[in-house]
Amino acid sequence: MDNLIKCIATDMDGTLLNSVQQISTANKEAILKAQAQGVEVVVATGRSYQEATYVLDEAGLTCPVICVNGAEIRSKEGDVLSATPIGKQLAREAASRLAEKDVYFEVYTNQGAFTIDPDKAVSILVDIVMSANPEADREEIIEAAGARIRDGLVHKIEDYELLFANEDYQIYKLLAFSFDADRLEAANQALADLEELAIASSGHGNLEITHRDAQKGIALESFVNANGMDLAETMAIGDNYNDVSMLKKAGRAVAMGNAGDEIKSLCDEITDTNEESGVAKAILEVI
Q: Which residues are catalytic?
A: 11
The CA distance from 47 to 55, in Å, is 11
Alpha helix segments (H runs only) across 101-243: 118-132, 138-150, 161-164, 181-191, 216-226
* 74 beta partners: 65, 80
The CA-based angle 243-209-66, given to 5 degrees, is 45
* 134 beta partners: none
CB 233 within 8 A of CB 7: yes
* 107 beta partners: 114, 174
Q: 3-class DSSP state for residue 251? A: coil
Q: 3-class DSSP state for residue 190? A: helix
DSSP category for residue 68 = G
